[in-house]
Amino acid sequence: MAAHSEQAKHRLYLEHALGQGQVIDLSRDHAHYLFNVLRLSVGQRVAVFDGQNGEWQAEIVTSGKRGGTLRCLTQSAPQRMPPDLWLLFAPIKKARTDFIVEKATELGAARILPVQTDFTNSERIRQDRLQAHAVEAAEQCGGTYVPQVADLQPLSRLLDGWDTSRALIFADETLRDTPAPALPPAPAAIVIGPEGGFSASERDRLRSMAGVTPVSLGPRILRADTAAVAALTLWQAAQGDWE
Segment 163-192, tens digit of pLDDT: 999 999 999 988 877 777 889 999 999 999
Q: Is the pLDDT at 3 greater than 70, yes or no?
A: no
**What's 12's DSSP letter?**
E
CB 172 within 8 Å of CB 217: no
Packing angle between helix 127-141 and helix 94-107, nearest 10 degrees?
40
CATH number for region 2-77: 2.40.240.20
The predicted pLDDT at position 9 comes to: 84
47 has which bridge partners? 11, 57
CB 41 within 8 Å of CB 59: no
Same fold, 2-77 and 85-239: no
Domain spans in the chain, listed from the N-terminal domain onward: 2-77, 85-239
Question: How many whole angstroms from its chain centre is CA 109?
Answer: 5
Homologous superfamily (CATH) of 85-239 is SPOUT methyltransferase, trefoil knot domain (3.40.1280.10)
Angstrom CA distances, 34 to 40, 48, 69, stand at: 6, 12, 11
Q: What is the Cα–Cα distance from 105 to 131, expressed in whole angstroms?
A: 10
For 104-157, the pLDDT digits (tens) are 999 999 999 999 999 998 778 999 999 999 999 999 999 999 999 999 999 999
* Local confidence band at 221 (pLDDT 50, 70, 90 cut-offs): confident
The predicted pLDDT at position 4 comes to: 44
Average pLDDT over residues 218-228: 92
The predicted pLDDT at position 177 comes to: 77
Average pLDDT taken over every residue of the chain = 93
The predicted pLDDT at position 2 comes to: 36
